[in-house]
Amino acid sequence: MNKHQRIGIKKPWVLLLLATTFLEPNDSWGQGTPKDGPSIKLAELSQSIEELSNRVCPAVVQVFSSGFRVNPEDGPSDPGLISKSRSVGSGVVLDSEGYIVTSAHVVEGAAAVEVLLPALLQAGSPKQSILKGRGKRFSAEVIGIDAETDLAVLKISQRSLPFLALGDSDQVRQGQLVLAFGSPLGLENSVTMGVVSATARQLRVEDPMIYIQTDTPINPGNSGGPLVDLQGRVVGINTFILSRSGGSEGIGFAAPGNIVRNVFEQIRKAGRVRRGTIGVYAQTISPELAQGLNLPNDWGVILGDVFPGGPADGAGLKEGDVILTLNGKVMENARQLEVNFYRQAIGERVSLEVLRGAEKLKLAVAVAAREPDPERFRANVSVQNNRVQRLGILGITVDAKTAQELPPLRKHAGVLVAARVSTVFPGEEQLLPGDVIYSIDRVPVADLESLRSAVRELNASKPVVVQLERQGKVRYLAIWLEDSPRR
């Protein structure tokens, strides 16, 4: 960390705004005798930001990941081929015991992850050069990944680390000054400043994720670093940018701090994220929907569907019901309703106030666990460690920990298909993410190594028969190997 680091304000409009803000009522530019007031106040503001930077920087880390990946179908390289993958991003320490949050895409599929802590100036040490040495580098364990929010939790062995507190992102306001910390383009421990452009940006209609939008300069390498308020609280984790040039164009997005808190706490405790649901499809009421359905308000939440046999159906909710409040809190949009279900414990009952026609009802509904995404294991595997080449998949041994994250299985040993890494020809049957392989050509499969061993002996000139469980049903599947002459 550079104790004497200063923050350059790169945006002339920001400097003009700040200077204008701190002018006394009778001050004017270029008129009369110069006064010390504005300069002193701007200097105080600059010093405050420097002090804030010095408090935040010790908890901001650089994240390095390496491994192999399969070239995507729509990428610039040959699709389906294996290539080395290296990624550099940022992270922030949220617990002194070595727990770090970063972006999932920084560490997804990595075979090795390392964290570089900043070089710290020890208390009582003499004044040092502004050019600091490198900090310490530690191997990191990926505790868990949540693909929906693009967040991951890492852990290193170091203890008593400086850490930052998460702020209440519901209190963030448009126009608020914020600072982004991280390693843009690999430049360790950088800081930029800007404002909040929007507080709950939804990039697509009914997108399950919302973001804080900011014009704070964010570039590749900033992913996973903190967006902080002027009190040094983490109000967001920098996630991605929209750009035509590939660099910062003032349109950056951060996962809100309250969502980060929920994901961080769940992964730290259980290694995964469970989300609650009541079995409905909720939609945000638009002015057009309100007009067409003769609703009293052109905002809020309406139920487009109530899933048969689900908790909401059992509690008496119906299609077309308007959700007014959840546990007394006004629901303004569908995303807000979903997020509030996330925060409820599975099995807990919530109180809903509902408008049905002209009648207001109060209903109690039990929260159930949402059906997990079969693709969720992809982030926890790598081509290097989990590839079964002749089947074109990445597999995971079904052990006690993995079984806890799956619906009840019919058998107690096998290999879970985490992802496909090759193209399937049209019309061919294929293994799918979420399948659990029990045998191949009648040879039982106990773990990943036994699957690889069985596959090595297979004849490529004919299809092989895989016994697997898919969505609770055990079935046979005839598939062709990747090196089959038919392919």
CB 468 within 8 A of CB 475: yes
Contact 57, 191 (CB under 8 A): yes
State the Cα–Cα distance between residues 83 and 65, nearest whole angstrom: 14
Q: Is 409 exposed, middle or buried (0-12, 13-18, 19+ CB in 10 A)?
A: middle
Helix ranges, 139-254 (H): none
End-to-end CA distance of the chain: 56
The secondary element (H helix, E strand) that includes residue 438 is: strand 436-440
Compute the distance between CA of residue 39 and CA of residue 165 in angstroms, rounded to an integer.
32
**Distance from C-alpha of 337 to C-alpha of 389, rounded to nearest angstrom:** 43
In degrees, to the nearest 5, what angle opens at C-alpha 44 toward C-alphas 41 and 48? 140
Task: Give φ, ψ of 237 to 5 degrees.
Answer: -115, 120
Q: How many CA atoms lie within 13 A of 339 on its CB side?
A: 25
Q: Which one from 65, 223, 248, 382 is the annotated catalytic residue?
A: 223
Examine the residue annotation and report whether 150 is marked as an active-site residue of this protein.
yes
Contacts of 113 (CB under 8 A, 6+ apart): 63, 64, 65, 107, 139, 140, 141, 142, 154
The yes-or-no answer on residue 105 being catalytic is: yes
Burial 263-282 (b: 16+ CB within 10 A, else e): bbebbbeebbbebbbbbbeb
Q: Is the Cβ–Cβ distance between 377 and 399 less than 8 Å? A: no
Pairing of strands 112-116, 436-440: unpaired
Given the residues 65, 90, 105, 248, the one annotated as active site: 105
Residue in the block written with tokens 């597999």: 395
478/113 Cα distance (integer angstroms)? 38
List of residues 6+ apart from 225 with CB closer than 8 A: 60, 89, 90, 91, 92, 180, 181, 182, 183, 237, 238
Q: Active-site residue among 146, 150, 229, 321?
A: 150
Amino acid identity, residue 134?
A: R
Residue 141 burial (CB count, 10 A):
11
Residue 157's contacts (CB-CB under 8 Å, 6 or more residues apart) are 98, 138, 139
Q: Record the tokens describing residue 9, joined without a space.
A: 């304000």
Active site residues: 105, 150, 223
